[in-house]
Structure 1
Amino acid sequence: MKKLINDPRDVVREMLEGLVQVSPGLALLEGETVVMRAELPPDPASRPVAVLSGGGSGHEPAHAGYVGPGMLSAAIAGDVFTSPSVDAVHAAIRATAGPAGAVLIVKNYTGDRLNFGLAAELARQDGIPVEIVVVADDVALRDTVTRERRRGIAGTILVHKVAGAAAGRGHTLATVAALARRAADRVGTMGVGLGSCIVPSAGVPSFQLGADEIEFGLGIHGEKGVRRTSMSSADAIVKAMLEPLLDEMKPAKGEPVALLVNGLGATTPMELAIVTRAAFGELESRGLVVGRAWTGALMTALEMPGCSISLLLLDGELTGLLDDPTQAMAWPGSGKVAATPRVVAAPPVNKQPEGVAVDGPLSQTMRRVVDHVANALENAERHLTDLDSRAGDGDLGASMARGAAALRTLPAFSFASPAPLLFAIGETLRRVIAGSSGPFYATALLRASKSLSGADTPDEQQWRAAFARGVAAIAELGGGREGDRTMLDALIPASQAWLDGSWPDAVRAAEGGALRTADMYPRLGRASYLGDRAVGVPDGGAVAVTIWMAAISEALG
């Protein structure tokens, strides 16, 4: 187990101390693992209805991240995945509530219900009126247990927001509780896990999944789901998650819903955005209106990979409460969505004029060369990926393969003469090759194209000059030179060899230069971040140069 912690027994307190240190609006309740609003009225009689929630830790930013005006008055943290104590909950109620009372929002787990319930009884003995709202939004358990026994998971966040906004408006205890219960009754959640998590005190994964397995219908405590199935596309997984949600909730066509896409801890913003896109598409295809939407790691299960989708059936009052402002630091914004996705037209770019597809003297030869280069780069994808993974970021093989595929789509008129062909290849690679390779190749090809402008059948001296100018353009753009362990270590020797000899001489010089990069200390590019660890592996960019140069030689016979 690798975690940035000290003693596993101290993780909760130390986490809360770190959180409060960077949150001026929050305070720690002395002697308790309770985070509360720092500026509550000192006179309990002047306090509005307090809204409290909490549970086991490991769900960050829940629950302390939702403490603030407009949401929670306090959050009570237990040990990791363990309900907080009765005393902690009772202390939080006494520290935040007054005669107006308190609403406790409780996720439907036995420990939480018992400890929050007993704390509520003790608070009532103190003269503080308390209402309990239980959230049981886990739709995955609909075929296993009755509704009132389902787990409370990520949909609880929406109940926090509704209750906190209602309290912020000055509503009575009964009204705040009623609105919170309405939200709890109208929210459902479905989760999927791509792997497990490690509880600090346990030190081992909570369960094991095969490389192609996922768990549907899991909670937020690192537990297994209700069924195990095979990995699929994001669109297919989202559709499978929404099916039971929509079947359970039965929204009418045209009915507005709030959508919450929640990461379980290890899911990247990239993946969550893809899931959000898929959820929008699926809901809108069923005639539903996504009135509000949020996405992010909002109620996690430590570092578990996976996500959940929550739907809340909206009405005018609930929508207004969700829209009320809050200063809780983890609330992810207004949630308002555009009526239609905004796509702004790109400004026109300067393009080489399209011509008639008329062959020139070198057209057939150039087609053969381009075809050989494309084949060679595609065949080398795995090799280039391996080299780049060992001394870079691993994307070179895929980038070259995308470039190869794009070469096959060049318009016929591009092959009329060398200059328009080089221009077209440069423009194409600029668009399709990621990272630094795309701009380097595009710059070199555009410079070479300009050098050959007007020459339908360049002689070898003109080709040499164009190649040399292209290599110089790469050096100018990247600020590199021979010996830096880049593609220039193949290109510069090749250019010099061709000036003194033939194209086959240039190919051999490039291959020798690429091999020498294995012994070079990297000074530019991603490999420079690895330092000595990159030594021993040839530079992938230099090797890629040898591949397309050799392909040209083969095509020319």
Structure 2
Amino acid sequence: MKKLINHPLEVVRDMLEGAVALAPGQALLADEAVVVQAGLPGPPQRAVAVISGGGSGHEPAHAGYVGDGMLTAAVAGDVFTSPSSDAVLAAIRATAGPAGAVLVVKNYTGDRLNFGLAAEMARAEGIPVEIVVVADDVALRDTVEESRRRGIAGTVLVHKVAGAAAASGAGLADVAGLARAAAGDIGSMGVALGSCTLPAVGRPSFSLEADEIELGLGIHGEPGVERTGMAGSAALVERLLTAIVADRSVSPGARVALLVNGLGATPPMELAIVARDALRGLEQRSIAVERAWCGTFLSALDMPGFSLSLMRLDDRRLQLLDARTDAPAWPGGGKLNPAPIVAVAPERDTSPRSADDGPSAPASPIRTAVMAAAQALIGAEAALTELDAKAGDGDLGASLARGAAAAMALPATAWTSPSTALVSLGHALRRAIAGSSGPFYATALLRAARQLSDVPDPAPGDWAAAFTSAVAAISDLGGAKPGDRTMIDALDPAAAAFRSAIAAGQAPGDAWRLAVAAAGAGRDATAGMQPRLGRASYLGARAVGIPDAGAAAVACWMEALGPHIR
């Protein structure tokens, strides 16, 4: 286990001290794991306090939601363990005045017992207290009665509703009533792609095969209600939405808020895809999403997965969601983009034209040569991927294979003249190849096309000049020079060899063979070079001994062109 902690028994206090140090609107009680709003007025002037909490490991819940307009205090237990009643009582004493306190409690036995006991003790001291229990996990709909369901990520929406109501000056009964109604109108369900690891345990709480997931998980590392096969985002989202909508009887035309919640180890990229699929699924059901948030709101340590929460809306509840808060973990906003997709301006056709342009353009020797190079790159995909992974990000093989496929898909009209072919090929590669290779190859081809734009039937010397110009374009764009351990180390000597051989009167095929040999020698030489550009430069001396993948790709397609150059 690798965890950035000091000691398992000190995790919660260390975490809270770090978090509060970065939140000027918060304070941490000296002797309890309780975060409170800083600068509260004296008890007689205080609004209704809204207090929540539970076991740690759910960050940014619950301390991240302490702030004006949301929670007045958050009580943290040990990881996945309810806080003590003494800690809850300390939070009530520190933040509640005559207006009283509302305790928002997730529906777990330990939380209900300790928050409930603290409420009784506070009432005995004359502090009015109401308890609101959140039991939003619809995954348990066929397992337990509704009152015994777990409280999961939808609890954060209850924090917002209750906190905004209290900040508006509402009394204890009104704040509690609004919070209970919100909790009753929330349905949530989650899916785990893997387990989480408790700091004090040091191993995952359960194990899954590579193609397995857990549906309907809790938030404490426990398995879900069903173990099933992995599926794509859209399929998983559809299954969760179906369960939530049916359980909460959300009918077409209903107004809802959507919370897409990561469980701790789900990257923003994947959560955004989940959000997209959830919005589409609700739109297909004619359910109006008036507010939506996507991120990690209530996690399960480092668990990969997500949950969805839907809450019914009316005008009052929407007003409370929109109300201002300075709680550091609440993202604000929530409004949807009414026009997220706009049309792309049509691309200007800058391809040179020839008199033969048209559907019946004849087959081109240039096309035949390029097809051979494309097939070679497709065949070398695995080898280039393996080589690139050793000193880069491992995407070169797939990127060049996509570019090769794009070249092979060009229409006959793309090959009607040398300059037309180079322009068409350049644009195809820039669209198809991700990362740096696409711009490099496209720039080279476009510059070579300009070199030949007024030469309908290029002589060998014209091709040599175009090749040299293309290599210079790559060097100009990326700044690479021979010796920097890049594709230039294969291209530059190859262009020089071809140019010299043509100038000496050698046949194009013979000159190209010399160029191919020079490219291969340049590729091999990169293995002994210290990288100075590109991702390999981050490895420094660790990349030495590995040929540059870009140079290897150059040698590959150059060799494939050889039989077609005469």
Global fold match (TM > 0.5): yes
- Cα deviation, residue 454, structure 1: 2.6
Q: Which position in structure 1 is the counterpart of 2:358?
A: 357
Preserved contact between residue 385 and residue 397 of structure 1 (Cα < 8 Å): yes
Q: Which position in structure 1 is the counterpart of 2:307?
A: 308
1:531 equivalent in alignment to 2:547: no
Q: Bigger shift: 426-435 or 441-450?
A: 426-435
- Cα deviation, residue 408, structure 1: 2.1
**Long gaps (5+) in structure 1:** none
Q: Bigger shift: 197-206 or 410-419?
A: 410-419
| Alpha-carbon separation, structure 1, partners of 2:96 and 2:349 | 67
- Cα deviation, residue 341, structure 1: 2.5
- Cα deviation, residue 425, structure 1: 1.1
Q: Bigger shift: 290-299 or 401-410?
A: 401-410
Q: Which position in structure 1 is the counterpart of 2:459?
A: 459
Q: Bigger shift: 53-62 or 533-542?
A: 533-542
Q: Which position in structure 2 is the counterpart of 1:552?
A: 561
**Long gaps (5+) in structure 2:** 502-510
Preserved contact between residue 471 and residue 488 of structure 1 (Cα < 8 Å): yes
Q: Which position in structure 2 is the counterpart of 1:240?
A: 239
| Alpha-carbon separation, structure 2, partners of 1:188 and 1:457 | 70
| Alpha-carbon separation, structure 2, partners of 1:212 and 1:556 | 49
| Alpha-carbon separation, structure 1, partners of 2:99 and 2:346 | 59
Q: Which position in structure 2 is the counterpart of 1:424?
A: 424
Q: How does 1:512-523 map to 2 (within 5 A)?
A: 512-523=521-532
| Alpha-carbon separation, structure 1, partners of 2:423 and 2:339 | 37
Q: Bigger shift: 377-386 or 23-32?
A: 377-386
- Cα deviation, residue 360, structure 1: 7.1
| Alpha-carbon separation, structure 1, partners of 2:178 and 2:346 | 49
Preserved contact between residue 464 and residue 495 of structure 2 (Cα < 8 Å): yes
Q: Which position in structure 2 is the counterpart of 1:387?
A: 387
- Cα deviation, residue 358, structure 1: 6.7
Relative to 1, partners in 2 of residues 1:63 and 1:347: Cα closer, same or farther, differing over 3 Å?
farther
- Aligned AA (1:538): P
Preserved contact between residue 512 and residue 565 of structure 2 (Cα < 8 Å): no
| Alpha-carbon separation, structure 2, partners of 1:142 and 1:431 | 48
1:414 equivalent in alignment to 2:414: yes
- Cα deviation, residue 486, structure 1: 0.3
Q: How does 1:65-214 map to 2 (within 5 A)?
A: 65-214=64-213
- Aligned AA (1:63): H
Secondary structure of 1:308's counterpart equals: strand
Relative to 1, partners in 2 of residues 1:354 and 1:316: Cα closer, same or farther, differing over 3 Å?
farther
- Cα deviation, residue 77, structure 1: 0.5
- Cα deviation, residue 500, structure 1: 2.8
1:435 equivalent in alignment to 2:435: yes
Secondary structure of 1:399's counterpart equals: helix
- Cα deviation, residue 379, structure 1: 1.5
Preserved contact between residue 352 and residue 419 of structure 2 (Cα < 8 Å): no
Q: Which position in structure 2 is the counterpart of 1:542?
A: 551
Q: Bigger shift: 334-343 or 63-72?
A: 334-343
| Alpha-carbon separation, structure 2, partners of 1:334 and 1:432 | 36
- Cα deviation, residue 338, structure 1: 2.6
- Cα deviation, residue 457, structure 1: 2.2
Q: Which position in structure 1 is the counterpart of 2:230?
A: 231
Secondary structure of 1:204's counterpart equals: coil
Q: Which position in structure 2 is the counterpart of 1:505?
A: 514
Secondary structure of 1:10's counterpart equals: helix
| Alpha-carbon separation, structure 1, partners of 2:166 and 2:564 | 76
Equivalent pairs counted in the alignment come to 555
| Alpha-carbon separation, structure 1, partners of 2:143 and 2:276 | 30
Preserved contact between residue 353 and residue 420 of structure 2 (Cα < 8 Å): no
Runs of 4+ in 1 over 4 A off after TM superposition: 347-350, 358-361
| Alpha-carbon separation, structure 2, partners of 1:15 and 1:534 | 38
Secondary structure of 1:177's counterpart equals: helix
Preserved contact between residue 361 and residue 413 of structure 2 (Cα < 8 Å): no
Secondary structure of 1:210's counterpart equals: coil
Superposed CA offset, 1:460-486 (max 9, x none)? 111111001101111111111111110
- Cα deviation, residue 554, structure 1: 3.6
Secondary structure of 2:198's counterpart equals: coil
| Alpha-carbon separation, structure 2, partners of 1:338 and 1:45 | 43
Secondary structure of 1:516's counterpart equals: helix
- Aligned AA (2:548): D
Secondary structure of 2:364's counterpart equals: helix
Q: How does 1:245-284 map to 2 (within 5 A)?
A: 245-284=244-283
Q: Which position in structure 2 is the counterpart of 1:372?
A: 372
| Alpha-carbon separation, structure 2, partners of 1:473 and 1:112 | 66
Preserved contact between residue 34 and residue 75 of structure 1 (Cα < 8 Å): yes
Superposed CA offset, 1:6-29 (max 9, x none)? 011111101111111111100001
Give the TM-score normalised by structure 2: 0.96
| Alpha-carbon separation, structure 2, partners of 1:171 and 1:345 | 50
Preserved contact between residue 354 and residue 413 of structure 1 (Cα < 8 Å): no
| Alpha-carbon separation, structure 1, partners of 2:285 and 2:136 | 22
- Cα deviation, residue 213, structure 1: 1.0
- Cα deviation, residue 435, structure 1: 1.3
- Cα deviation, residue 219, structure 1: 1.1
Q: Bigger shift: 468-477 or 500-509?
A: 500-509
Q: Which position in structure 2 is the counterpart of 1:37?
A: 37
Secondary structure of 2:472's counterpart equals: helix
| Alpha-carbon separation, structure 1, partners of 2:81 and 2:333 | 31
